[in-house]
Chains A and B, each alone.
Chain A
């Protein structure tokens, strides 16, 4: 499976500011995914990031609030803009692993715990 790292591991930010989260993979991958996990909740997909094209956002998530970059096949960033306390969550990036022919095993990075005060 791919080795995925995320930076920062955690941060405490003031409302109105922005934070950029980095995701690095040790091998080239076509698609990277960004998820959010609010306290006590399950994972919700924010967007899918393909290298060389605009990210595809899920319903309820917009580019102005969560701009994503995907400059190459091993790296992506997610920015949480103009933060409010409701943005306090764990943010996770994930990548496809083995293609089984029926779908991809998907692996997750270690996550970024964001607290907005």
Chain B
């Protein structure tokens, strides 16, 4: 059974701090890893990672995948209160197109 584990479960920081969120996985026939931001109900797509060592970047957010060690990190620099959200990691495996999600990291950024 595919498994995705995120850490920490929750994190409280102050504006301007840099945070690193972790995602490890155990899946059969890995295809891709996806990061989402969930503020209210709908998860918003952030990144899709398929190859090791290639950083994906969007503004203050960046992410990288290590397929040998089976993990990914999501970095947020110069955090803002608007970054407060649950960050979800999900994995796609095999020929299936559905995603297996981790439990999420609740990030709170204080002013």
Contacts and interface: CB of A to CB of B under 8 A. Distances in A.
Interface of A: 1, 31, 33, 41-45, 48, 58, 90, 92, 96-97, 100, 102-113
A58 B96 CA distance: 12
Contacts of A48: 97-98
B91 to A, nearest CB: 9
- SS class, residues of chain B in contact with chain A: strand
Contacts of A45: 98-100
Given A45-B99, A105-B48, A108-B45, 9 more contacts: A45-B98, A92-B43, A100-B32, A102-B31, A103-B32, A103-B92, A104-B92, A106-B34, A108-B36
Nearest to B106: A40
Contacts, number: 66
- SS class, residues of chain A in contact with chain B: strand
A54 B59 CA distance: 42
B62 interface: no
A110 B97 contact: no
B41 interface: yes
With a 10 A CB-CB cut-off, give which of B36, B88, B98 has the most chain A CB atoms: B98
Contacts of B104: 42
Interface string B68-108: 00000000000000000000101010000111111110000
Contact of B88 (A43, A58, A104, A107): A43
B88 A103 contact: no
Contact of A108 (B42, B92, B103): B42
Interface of B: 31-32, 34, 36, 40-45, 48, 50-51, 88, 90, 92, 97-104
Contact of A43 (B40, B43, B51, B92): B43
Given A100-B32, A111-B42, A43 B97 contact: no
A104 B108 CA distance: 30
B35 to A, nearest CB: 11
B42 A92 contact: yes
Nearest to B48: A105
Nearest to A102: B50
A55 to B, nearest CB: 12
